[in-house]
């Protein structure tokens, strides 16, 4: 297979970026999208040109580093899949593929396809954790948790913090990410101890960092590689309002 790649190139955050066009040939349908970029970079290096910078780590759909907009979609033409889980058989032979970094004010471009997603880390540091002392690991059955609650908590905890939700949202909202973090702890007894403080702190930090408001278009859920439900946003709103009323 062969493809025409229109890739966003940008030297750094302060430089003006532009699309550059490249050709790749003899690509196997079973080649992953990131492997295809590796092949492109190998060709560029041999030509004495600068390779394309892009983020990657586990390449197993776990870390969320492979954050790319492909043909206008976060992570590309797959459902509940990250960029590294997309294979070239998803595209037509000879197709032109447009590759961009996340487009969000809160995720400034570092270089080419690499963005700074440190804003998510700051939100987590504001309250996405449990600080209560738990001592040694308790017996699994010491704190009974209803299966429905445990399942819901684990569904929310599946969020990998890739940023696809904010990059997809027309408002640049991080509500799905924040909601997943709050919801994963709100359904567990360990997380209830500081639930009110957590909701207020994380929402405040999200607003401070310049993320937009949620208008419930559902785009975040549609493009989330872990299919995190927007139902968690409703719980975040309830947690936040309850905390404010408590004040």
Lowest mean pLDDT, pick from 129-143, 153-167, 227-241? 129-143
Compute how many other C-beta atoms are within 10 angstroms of the C-beta atom of residue 61.
19
Please spell the DSSP secondary structure of 20-86, one letter per residue.
Answer: EEEEE-S--TT-BHHHHHHHHHHHHHHTTPPPPP---S-SSSSS-----EETTEET-S-SS--GGG-
- Distance CA(244)–CA(22), nearest Å, equals 53
Residue 190 has a pLDDT of 85
The tens digit of pLDDT for each residue in 194-223 reads 899 999 999 999 999 999 999 999 999 999
User: Is pLDDT above 70 for 131?
Assistant: yes
Residue 132 has pLDDT above 80, yes or no: no
Q: What is the pLDDT of residues 61-101, one digit of tens each?
A: 999 999 999 999 999 999 999 999 999 999 999 999 999 99
Token output for 91: 């595209």
The closest of 157, 52, 168, 56 to 107, measured between CA atoms, is: 168
Q: How far apart are CA 113 and CA 25, in angstroms?
A: 22
* In the predicted structure, residue 239 carries a pLDDT above the cut 90: yes
């Amino acid at each position: 297979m062969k493809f025409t790649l229109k890739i966003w190139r940008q030297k750094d955050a302060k430089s003006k970026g532009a699309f550059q066009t490249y050709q790749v040939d003899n690509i196997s349908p079973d080649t992953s999208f990131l492997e295809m970029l590796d092949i492109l970079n190998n060709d560029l290096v041999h030509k004495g040109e600068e390779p394309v910078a892009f983020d990657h780590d586990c390449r197993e759909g776990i870390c969320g580093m492979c954050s790319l907009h492909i043909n206008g979609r976060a992570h590309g033409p797959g459902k509940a899949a990250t960029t590294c889980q997309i294979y070239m058989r998803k595209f037509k032979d000879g197709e032109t593929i447009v590759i961009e970094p996340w487009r969000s004010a809160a995720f400034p471009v570092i270089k080419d396809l690499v963005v700074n997603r440190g804003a998510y880390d700051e939100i987590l540091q504001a309250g996405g954790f449990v600080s209560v002392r738990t001592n040694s690991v308790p017996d699994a059955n010491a704190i009974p948790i209803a299966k429905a609650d445990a399942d819901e908590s684990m569904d929310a905890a599946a969020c990998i913090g890739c940023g696809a939700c904010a990059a997809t949202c027309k408002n640049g909202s991080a509500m799905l990410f924040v909601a997943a973090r709050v919801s994963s702890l709100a359904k567990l007894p360990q997380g209830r101890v500081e639930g009110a403080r957590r909701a207020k702190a994380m929402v405040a930090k999200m607003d401070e960092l310049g993320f937009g408001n949620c208008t419930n278009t559902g785009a975040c859920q549609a493009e989330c590689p872990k299919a995190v439900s927007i139902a968690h946003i409703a719980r975040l709103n309830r947690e936040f309002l309850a905390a404010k009323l408590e004040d």
